[in-house]
Amino acid sequence: MDRIVINGGKKLKGEIDISGSKNSALPILFATLLTDEPTIITNVPSLADIDTTIKFLNFIGKNIIKEENVVKTCFSGKYKHIAPYDLVRKMRASILIMGPLLARIKKVDVSLPGGCAIGARPIDIHLDAFQKMGVDIYVENGYVKTFAKNGIKGAVIDFKLPSVGATENILLSAVLAKGVTTIINAACEPEIEDLATVLNKMGARIIGAGTNKIVIKGVDKLCGFTHKIIPDRIEAATYMIAAAVMKGEVTLNKVEPIHLKAVIDKLKRCGLFIKEKKDTIFVKWVKNLKPQNVKTEVYPGFPTDVQAQWMVLMSLLDGKARIEENIFENRFMHVAELQRFGADIVMNGKVAYIKGVKRFSGAPVMVSDLRAGAALILAGLAAKGKTTVSRIYHLDRGYEALEKKLKKLGADIKRVHNN
């Protein structure tokens, strides 16, 4: 398995482009199942999760070509209705197959996604909603088997939690349902707005995406579309924090500053100099940065996907900080690895108490999940000496050209291929 080797301590300086959003591209790729007409999606990041999705959609019956950052779907055959274990276990977002297939062929059997490193991550909110929309559901041999005998019907759905995936899955089916669907307590993330923009380009009738109440009037048929994926706000936040950790001066191009408001506000409160323009962000380290507590929340609050990276920054500032994780029950797998660099972190349930240390020293560490991996890379960049990061396939799921971008900024980082 490949590893990343970092010789820490280099200042970061320069500019990089932020890639298209993984979490936006994934549901939009699933949306192509809703039409037989050609679609063109640009700014699609080159990531393992995107490749997995393309392979999955090809297996289901879609014909997809990806060249660099452009995906074209040009022909649709007869869809299969089975999402096998081997594809679903690799990526939780595979459950987004349910919405479009129920809408198009009334039937889909999906292998249960199971647990993952950051918590149990059930799919009850998705299933309860589909049941309200007229879908029969039962579990057999590790598969959730679903059948909408009379097609999908509009319904009023009140989520117990604003789940991102469930909001997307319901949108992906309600657009072709009979009647009107109202989602109450919907997730408001920018990725949901991006998906709704695409669906509306296809002829769907969605209002309210980006707020916690979405109303969808079902239509009979959807058409092709061309769409550019929004910038990846989590990747951008990771590089902003990298600049803070590495005493850097970094310009991020092709970003959407408004999507990063919670992170930018916190970084400014730490004392970092940040200048936002229309689609660029300039970040400059300033002496004596001060720690800031954070609580992860649904959008527009501080994102859970930036919690691990924030912990690295707090560990290296003079003073104390408290980080509360409110979205996932077990998203602190990075703590033990950060302690190997010398971090001073004490856990109590969903709260981490961090006391800043003067410096990290390089260590061999192992990635448990995507964002934990980002945190270990940041820690390695800051640490004195050599850090070896293993199990980096998690990072390849979500960070396009990670080493290339960091090298461009002056980091001493390389990928080592193991036999």
Q: Which residues bind ligand UD1 (CB under 6 A)?
A: 23, 26, 92-93, 119, 121-126, 161, 163-166, 187, 191, 304-305, 327-328
Angle between helices 233-245 and 261-270 (to 10 degrees): 10
Cα(111)–Cα(87) distance, integer angstroms:
9
In the complex, the smallest distance separating the C-beta of residue 319 from ligand UD1, rounded to whole angstroms, is 28
Distance of closest approach, residue 138 Cβ to ligand UD1, in angstroms:
17
Helix extents (H) in 61-187: 85-88, 98-105, 124-132, 164-174
State which residue, 292 or 304, has the beta carbon closest to ligand UD1: 304
**Nearest residue (CB) to ligand UD1, 165 versus 291:** 165
Cβ-count burial 18-48 (b if 16+ within 10 Å, e if not) = bbbbbbbbbbbbbbbbbbbbbbebebbbebb
Phi, psi (deg, nearest 5) at residue 111: -60, 135
Cα 115 to Cα 208: distance, rounded to the nearest angstrom: 32
* Whole-number Å distance between alpha carbons of 122 and 113: 8
Gyration radius of the chain's alpha carbons = 22
Longest Cα–Cα distance of the chain, Å, equals 64
Burial class (CB in 10 A: 0-12, 13-18, 19+), 130: buried
Q: Which of 104, 365, 112 is nearest to 218 (CA)?
A: 104
Closest distance between ligand UD1 and the C-beta of residue 387, in Å?
A: 25
What minimum distance in Å lies between the beta carbon of 22 and ligand UD1? Answer: 7
Q: Which two tokens stand for residue 232?
A: 């990846």
Q: Which is nearer to ligand UD1, 49 or 250 (CB)?
A: 49
Sequence-distant (≥ 6) Cβ neighbours of residue 101 within 8 angstroms? 33, 60, 79, 81, 107, 108
Residue 288: count of CB within 10 angstroms of its CB: 9
What's the distance, CA 403 to chain centroid? 19
> Smallest distance, Å, CB 154 to ligand UD1?
20
What are the residue numbers of the active site? 116
Strand partners, 389: 4, 365
Nearest-CB residue to ligand UD1? 165
> How many whole angstroms separate alpha carbon 88 and alpha carbon 114?
9
**Closer Cβ to ligand UD1, 171 or 187, answer by number:** 187
Q: Based on CB atoms, which residue is closest to ligand UD1, 56 or 360?
A: 56
Structure tokens at 67: 């060249």
Closer CB to ligand UD1, residue 239 or residue 328? 328
Q: Are the beta carbons of 399 and 374 closer than 8 angstroms?
A: yes
Cβ-based nearer residue to ligand UD1, 122 or 319? 122
Nearest to 169 by CA among 143, 144, 187: 187
β-partners of residue 307 are none
On whether the CB atoms of residues 353 and 374 are closer than 8 A, the answer is no
User: Which is nearer to ligand UD1, 39 or 296 (by Cβ)?
Assistant: 296
